[in-house]
Amino acid sequence: MKQGAIIGVLVLAWIICGPSPLIAKVTGPCFNCHTMHNSQGGEVVFATGPLPALLNNECKGCHAGINDGSNMTPYVLMTESEPTYRTTGTEADTDTLAGGNFYWVAMGGLDRTGHNVAGVADPDSPLVNTPPGSVDGASLSEQLTCAGVNGCHGDRSVANPYKALSGGHHNNDMTVWKNGTTLALSYRFLDGVRGLEDPDYEYRPTAAGHHNKYYGEDRTDETDTAEGTISSLCAQCHGYFHNGTGEIAAGTIGQCSWLRHPTDFDMAGATAGSEYSEYNGGTGTNNPYSVVSPVATADTATILNTTVFSKPDDAIVMCLSCHRAHGTPNDAILRWNYKKWPGNDGYNGCAICHTTKN
């Protein structure tokens, strides 16, 4: 075979068998992301000293940019201009992802609009390092970080954020149901959390087309920590907002006895003739899924949940039904501006579930 033909066959083989962008583990030349000695031609590569795993950039360095639907790296921080969020962050010309964006807390100094991650934003005033709802008011030992003991991603028992993430990026496979058994098999490197990951991180999501599938649990007991759910991750810091004796409800769903808004409870438990059966404009069977106020499901199949009230426990209220994880333009990191409703900038996303309250 001629050399050109051999290369052609190799290229074809790479296209067929090689990494598909959908699999989304990191690919490409090592030097794109690593530096062997933090030195190149005698110049320092990363200004403030060598980083763990020989990285040439920090988390926020690689994860800052403008999402345009073709980027492989999910961008969670825009620095130069304000992201297009519109009313709910899901409109057709928006450019934030499922977690929202740190722009407003980082660049706008609006503490209530995001998690004040160290190096990204100054410490929150007045919350500082105490997560509201933390068990017995406990504070983190230092400002919130992306990963590790004081962060959300990675192994939360490991202090160093990079070590806490070790092996995540190179072993990621976004086509499988993340069952939480290893870090790479955890939803978005949130250790132990389960779910199905939208390949473009909910860039302009649609209900029938593409969005994340969140794992939830229909609890019967307010003390159940519901391991593996996205809400249980939030509960690792905001404990009492999710579970604890006398913290959530004295009874069960459908009995008007909530002490804090229910999460990890299935709305179907309250549907018979209730307002919830009309979730997102439906009738109580196969209602359309909502990307504005999404619900979690106990279903662990690698198939997208495009309807609600179609399977047992597929209408589970979660923290992310109302909040985003990183930041939004709204106070309390809400998906929509609930304080300004009714009004031009406001929106009553609550009505996606509370269909008779307006």
Applying the rule CB under 6 A, the residues between 309 and 328 that interact with ligand HEC are: 317, 319, 321-323, 325
Closest separation between CB of residue 233 and ligand HEC, Å? Answer: 5
Residues 136-165 that bind ligand HEC (CB under 6 A): 140, 144, 146-147, 151-153, 161-162, 165
Q: Does 24 bind ligand HEC (CB under 6 A)?
A: yes
Q: How far apart are CA 233 and CA 295, in angstroms?
A: 16
Return the number of the residue (1 or 47) whose C-beta is nearest ligand HEC: 47
The CA-atom distances, in angstroms, between 222 and each of 4, 225, 258 are 66, 8, 10
Q: Residues 314, 295: contact at Cβ < 8 Å?
A: yes
d(CA 329, CA 282): 29
Residues 89-128 that bind ligand HEC (CB under 6 A): 111-112, 115-116, 124, 127
Ranges within 241-270 binding ligand HEC (CB under 6 A): 241-242, 253-254, 256-258, 261-263, 267, 270
Query: Are the C-beta atoms of 209 and 219 separated by less than 8 Å?
Result: no
| Residues of span 171-230 touching ligand HEC by CB under 6 A | 172, 174, 188-189, 197
Tell me whether residue 8 or residue 122 sits nearer to ligand HEC (CB atom): 122
| Amino acid sitting at position 243 | N
Q: Cα–Cα distances in Å, from 62 out to 66, 77, 190, 355? A: 12, 10, 18, 41
Q: Which residues contact 219 (CB under 8 A, 6 or more apart)?
A: 226, 243, 264, 265
Query: Can residue 233 be called a binding residue for ligand HEC (CB under 6 A)?
Result: yes
The answer to whether residue 25 forms part of the interface with ligand HEC (CB under 6 A) is yes
Q: What is the closest distance, in whole angstroms, from the C-beta atom of residue 64 to ligand HEC in the complex?
A: 10
Question: 86 or 238, CB closer to ligand HEC?
Answer: 238
